[in-house]
Structures are given as structure tokens and as C-alpha cells.
Amino acid sequence: MLINVKTHAQTQMIDITSQVQHAVKESGITDGLVHVYSMHTTAAITINENADPAVEADILKTINKVIPFDDQFKHMEGNSAAHIKVSLFGPSEIIPLENGLLILGTWQGIFFCEFDGPRNRKVNVKIIPG
Ligand code: ZN
């Protein structure tokens, strides 16, 4: 299953928890593992707090400080910062699925992390029944 994500900034974290839950519901599978996978080299998936938007802002502020956009990188496309961020965050997360519900903690949400936007992006959701 594919989830389309439209991003609006160079770096942005977008909560896709409800879209993932919807895709899971559409599948009819109620138990197993849900693999959420960014099909891009400059956009990642992470799980973190989705209650206070300040957390997203602080994560982006820090990652942009640690890995600045322009640091005399060699990659001609000019987006090495985004490639490095994705390798640190990782392209995917695996979430347990029980009785049709994603098993997430009270404050946890699934985020699509844009590091070279704005763009139209795709997230693959694959369920391993079990
Ligand atoms: Zn590149």
C-alpha cells in the first residue's frame, strides 16, 4: 500500500499515524507487524512525540544545526545534508499491530521526515501478518 505525502518546507516532520492506521484497516489484516518505509534518499521515517508540536520543531532545529545545509559537501546535487540526515534517522519503522490497532505509546506518533522539500513523496506500508 502506498501513502502519498505532500511536504511544504525544506525540512518538515509530518504526522502520518492516521494514514498508516487507515491503510492497515483497508488491508483487513488485524495482527502482525507494520513496516512503514520511505521510498526516498532524502526523507526518513521516525517515531516520536506527536502531542506537542514543539518537539518536532526542536528535533528539526537540532538536526539542522548538527548537519548544516551548506558544509562544503562534494555531492553535486547540493543536498548531502538531507542524505546524511536520512542515514541517521533511517528510512523505516516497524510497528506492532494487535486487534486492528497500531501499538503505539500514549505520546508516540509516526512521522514522515522531509529533509529536502518541498516535494511529493511516497511511503510504502507493508504488513507482515502474524
Ligand atoms: Zn542528492
The residues spanned by each domain of the chain are 2-129
**Sole residue written with cell 506500508:** 125
Sorted by sequence, the CB contacts under 8 Å of residue 121 that are 6+ apart come out as: 4, 5, 6, 7, 38, 39, 40, 43, 112, 114
CATH superfamily for domain 2-129: YjbQ-like (2.60.120.460)
Question: 87: CA distance to ligand 1 center in Å?
Answer: 13
Going by pLDDT thresholds of 50, 70 and 90, the confidence category of residue 22 is very high
Question: 116: CA distance to ligand 1 center in Å?
Answer: 9
pLDDT tens per residue across span 87-103 = 999 999 999 999 999 99
Going by pLDDT thresholds of 50, 70 and 90, the confidence category of residue 49 is very high
Which of these, 82, 111, 127, lies nearest to 14 by C-alpha position? 111
Question: 79: CA distance to ligand 1 center in Å?
Answer: 5
Distance CA 96, CA 110 (A): 12
Whether the Cβ atoms of residue 121 and residue 4 lie closer than 8 Å to each other? yes
